């Protein structure tokens, strides 16, 4: 590539031209063809002809002249230059020449920003180019990538997001090793992770056409940040921030999201932050999550209060059904209050008429109450009522038919015999009023 021998000289010329163009921007009005439209047009034609033929070596001298003579001609000039220089850099073996090419690539990015804006996008490209070719200049890379993510936001590319977080972790380890205070700490790493992960997740959830690339980036990000994401570390890093800014809803949301992702739900710090957020900005979801946390902790009365909060805030019947059934489970297993448990289960069934689980739970309630409903046939009659509920469950929800059938079949051995029915003047198929707390009419069945 003999045409590149004067690379360093060209860089100097380009820099001078860049400065001159910037200084004279207000002094004269330039067209897209610069101050010399004839030379601009001539060089554009020559460079484009060679470029179309993939003859980048011969295209390059004319491309450089276009950048100097008419730098505002077209953004495509810089896109073409980027493509050519990436190829040259990848193929060049001489480190000195390669370094000069990298300089020119970076300068062309500066030109593009100066004349066509897109600062966030282009600084991301600059950061990636420097990471690939000058990884030791990590502070500059960090500034470029951080600025790019700041400006691009949800439009940040997968590669930029990954490198952005990766560079933060590298800076943390470097600064820790040399005991350099005031630089990148764990908070910086976690905030970079949170920002990048939030953007990537949005892209994935929205079905973006590059969703697969964002998923790969997110997986890689979570891998390199994993050592920083232990629950106790997160608490150590953010505790003082929460205490200093108790009304900062954005901070609380960010922290709840981070702790949820890292499965820290059983930690006191998570509970404290979640409660603060629920007070500041209550939602059905936050109420339900708090209720579940208190159930896990054995604080069932508090849990029921949060379930009621969730129900009052929820408008979706499917979600309401879930809350009611979870409340029914608590009343059943923790408080042994069968009447209240059934009342909640019935509300769950009402909210979701095609859902069989509430009827399964009512059947289980009936089965569990056998010993409290008398002796003999009276005690066994609860199993008939339970079977009615299991059959109702599969009738409204065929997806659980097998499960309901097994539960019903297992109760047959508890039915009274024909001989036992003789003493209450009943036979199979008759109706029977189950007393106790159940108060329902069922069908008589026998075990023989």
pLDDT tens digits, 114-123: 999 999 999 9
pLDDT in tens, 26-81: 333 344 777 788 999 999 999 999 999 999 999 999 999 999 999 999 999 999 99
Model confidence pTM above 0.75 = no
Q: Which of 78, 166, 89, 90 is nearest to 121 (CA)?
A: 78
Tokens of 204: 């994935």
Handedness of CA 100, 105, 110, 112 (dihedral sign): positive
Please give the helix or strand (H or E) that residue 443 lies within, else none: strand 440-443
More confidently predicted of 419 and 35: 419
- Output the six-digit token pair for 142: 């960090």
Q: Which of 21-30, 159-168, 215-224 has the lowest mean pLDDT?
A: 21-30
Annotated domain spans of the chain: 1-117, 356-448
Determine what percent of the chain falls in helix, strand and coil, rounding each to the nearest 5.
75, 0, 25
The structure tokens 């450089």 sit at 64
**Which residues make beta-bridge pairs with 442?**
432
277 alpha carbon, distance to own chain's centre: 19
In the prediction, which pLDDT does 201 show?
87
Strands (E), 208-292: none
DSSP annotation of 337 reads -
Model confidence pLDDT, tens digit, residues 339-396: 999 999 999 999 999 999 999 999 999 999 998 988 888 899 999 999 999 999 999 9
Write the pLDDT tens digit of every residue in 403-415: 999 999 999 999 9
Closest CA to 194 of 260, 130, 247, 123: 260
Average pLDDT score over residue span 136-159: 96
pLDDT, residue 40, reads: 93
In this prediction, residue 18 carries a pLDDT of 42
């Amino acid at each position: 590539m003999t045409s590149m021998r004067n690379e360093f000289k060209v860089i100097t010329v380009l820099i001078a031209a860049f400065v001159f163009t910037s200084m004279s921007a207000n002094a004269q009005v330039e067209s897209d063809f610069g101050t010399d439209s004839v030379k601009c047009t001539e060089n554009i034609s020559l460079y484009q002809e060679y470029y179309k033929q993939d003859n980048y070596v011969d295209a390059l001298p004319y491309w450089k002249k276009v950048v100097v003579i008419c730098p505002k001609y077209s953004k495509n000039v810089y896109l073409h230059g980027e493509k050519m220089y990436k190829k040259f850099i990848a193929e060049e073996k001489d480190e000195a020449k390669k370094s000069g090419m990298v300089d020119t690539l970076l300068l062309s990015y500066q030109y593009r920003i100066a004349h066509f804006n897109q600062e966030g996008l282009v600084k991301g490209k600059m950061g990636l180019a420097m990471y690939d070719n000058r990884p030791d200049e990590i502070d500059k890379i960090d500034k470029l990538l951080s600025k790019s993510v700041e400006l691009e936001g949800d439009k940040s590319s997968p590669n930029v997001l990954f490198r952005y977080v990766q560079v933060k972790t590298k800076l943390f380890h470097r600064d820790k090793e040399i005991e350099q205070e005031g630089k990148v700490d764990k908070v910086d790493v976690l905030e970079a992770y949170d920002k990048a992960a939030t953007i990537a997740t949005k892209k994935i959830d929205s079905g973006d056409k590059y969703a697969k690339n964002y998923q790969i980036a997110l997986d890689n990000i979570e891998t390199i940040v994993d050592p920083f994401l232990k629950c106790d570390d997160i608490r150590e890093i953010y505790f003082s921030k929460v205490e200093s800014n108790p009304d900062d809803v954005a901070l609380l949301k960010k922290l709840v999201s981070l702790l949820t992702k890292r499965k820290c739900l059983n930690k006191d710090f998570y509970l404290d932050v979640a409660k603060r957020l629920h007070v500041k900005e209550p939602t059905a979801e936050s109420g339900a999550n708090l209720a579940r946390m208190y159930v896990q902790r054995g604080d069932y009365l508090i849990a029921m209060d949060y379930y009621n909060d969730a129900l009052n805030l929820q408008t979706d019947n499917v979600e309401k059904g879930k809350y009611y059934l979870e409340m029914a489970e608590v009343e059943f297993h923790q408080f042994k209050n069968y009447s209240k448990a059934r009342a909640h289960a019935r509300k769950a069934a009402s909210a979701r008429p095609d859902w069989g689980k509430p009827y399964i739970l009512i059947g289980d309630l009936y089965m569990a109450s056998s010993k409290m409903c008398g002796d003999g046939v009276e005690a066994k009659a609860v199993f008939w009522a339970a079977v009615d509920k299991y059959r109702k469950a599969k009738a409204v929800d065929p997806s659980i038919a097998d499960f309901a059938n097994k539960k019903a079949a297992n109760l047959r051995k508890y039915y009274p015999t024909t001989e036992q029915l003789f003493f209450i003047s009943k036979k199979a198929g008759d109706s029977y009023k189950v007393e106790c707390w159940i108060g329902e009419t069922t069908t008589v069945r026998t075990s023989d």
